[in-house]
Amino acid sequence: MANAKKVALITGANKGLGYEMARQLAQAGVTVVLAARDQAKGQAAADKLKHEGLDVQFLKLDVTDKNDYAAAAAFLEKNFGKLDILINNAGISADGLAGTSVSQTTDQSLRSTFETNFFAPIELTQALLPLLKKSEAARIVNMSSILGSQTLHADPNSPIYNFKALSYDSSKAALNSFTIHLAYELRDTKIKVNSAHPGWVKTDMGTDAAPMELPEGGKTGVALALLDENGPTGGFFHLGQPLPW
């Protein structure tokens, strides 16, 4: 397969969208490093995919533990000598997607959400960028959300106008800013950086009320991870369609 020698790292991949994207990428012939903070759950998830005949390895990686960044880089350097795909998938919503009023949003909620959803992707990407630069054409995918769209949040006619959760929404808006800035820095390289909105998917965060199943939810991130040389960079997408910032 054309992708047989590509190596992908996906954070928060022991369940939900991360797990589904690991499956889809591995099915496309990519060697997947399934990263998760819980050793037992992560190893069990990787083993399950291995039993499906897929090339998946487990790596313990807590995105809020900076000591794990160096260990991840060392693991990838030793085993592969490069990284072709990084999907920053791990994320939380401290107040739930329903959120709380701005006046009631706590400092703790903001800080914990930004730590996982914004600061961690930046610092992990910085730590792994030397390995991504060793790839022939690396792809970085930041798993964002339509709830990070400032344009849609400000539009009374948009479908998300009445859904406000300051901690989560602002962390994803900040993540989108990271996408724009990193794509600009890497504009003269073959590395592409994009934000993905997977959709409202049946996950622990999305709940069973969500209309999308996991296989459909995984498509956007996987497509951006496998972009060819003519694909976009510095964009925000859902199922191939651009979204407003």
pLDDT of amino acid 199: 82
- Note whether residue 40 is domain-resident: yes
Is residue 2 situated within a structural domain?
no
d(CA 87, CA 8): 8
At which residue do the structure tokens 């030793």 appear? 78
Residue 226 located in a structural domain: yes
User: Of 6, 69, 172, 192, which one is the catalytic site residue?
Assistant: 172
Residue 66 designated active-site: no
Distance between CA atoms of residues 183 and 165, nearest Å: 27
- Taking the C-alpha atoms of residue 130 and residue 85, their distance in angstroms, rounded to an integer, is 13
Q: What does the alpha-carbon distance between residue 86 and residue 243 come to, in Å, rounded to a whole number?
A: 21
pLDDT at position 97: 67
In the numeric block, which tokens belong to residue 197? 């909105």
28 domain-assigned: yes
CA distance 35 to 72: 9
- One-letter identity of residue 213: E
- Taking the C-alpha atoms of residue 132 and residue 168, their distance in angstroms, rounded to an integer, is 28
Residue 86 lies in a domain: yes
238: tokens are 């859902």
User: What pLDDT score does 211 carry?
Assistant: 60
Query: Where in the sequence is the domain holding 66, given as residue range(s)?
Result: 7-242
* pLDDT at 167 (0 to 100): 95
- Please tell me the total count of domains within the chain: 1
Instruction: Give the 3-state secondary structure percentages of the chain, helix then strand then coil, rounded to 5.
Output: 40, 15, 40
Residue 170 lies in a domain: yes
pLDDT score recorded for residue 30: 98
Give the CATH number for residue 160.
3.40.50.720
Residue among 6, 168, 202, 219 flagged as catalytic: 168
Contact status, residue 241 vs residue 146, Cβ threshold 8 Å: no
pLDDT truncated to tens, each residue of the chain (245 aa)? Answer: 344 489 999 999 999 999 999 999 999 999 999 999 999 999 999 999 999 999 999 999 999 999 999 999 999 999 999 999 999 999 998 887 667 789 999 999 999 999 999 999 999 999 999 999 999 999 999 999 999 999 999 999 999 999 999 999 999 999 999 999 999 999 999 999 999 999 865 576 666 666 668 788 899 999 999 999 999 999 999 999 999 99
* Placement of tokens 């009023």 in the chain: 101
Q: What is the pLDDT of residue 95?
A: 81
Instruction: Say if 73 falls within a structural domain.
Output: yes
Q: What is the pLDDT of residue 112?
A: 96
Q: Could you write out the DSSP letters of every residue in 6-68?
A: -EEEESS-SSHHHHHHHHHHHHTT-EEEEEES-HHHHHHHHHHHHTTT--EEEEE--TT-THH
- 1 is a domain residue: no
Structure tokens at 145: 């959300």
Give the Cβ contact number of residue 195 at 10 Å.
31
The first and second tokens of residue 32, run together, are 């997947």
0.85 exceeded by pTM: yes
pLDDT of residue 100: 79
48 carries an active-site annotation: no
List residues bridging with 59 in a β-sheet. Answer: 35
How much is the pLDDT for 212?
64
Q: What is the CA angle 73-238-141, rounded to 5?
A: 10
pLDDT score for 171: 98
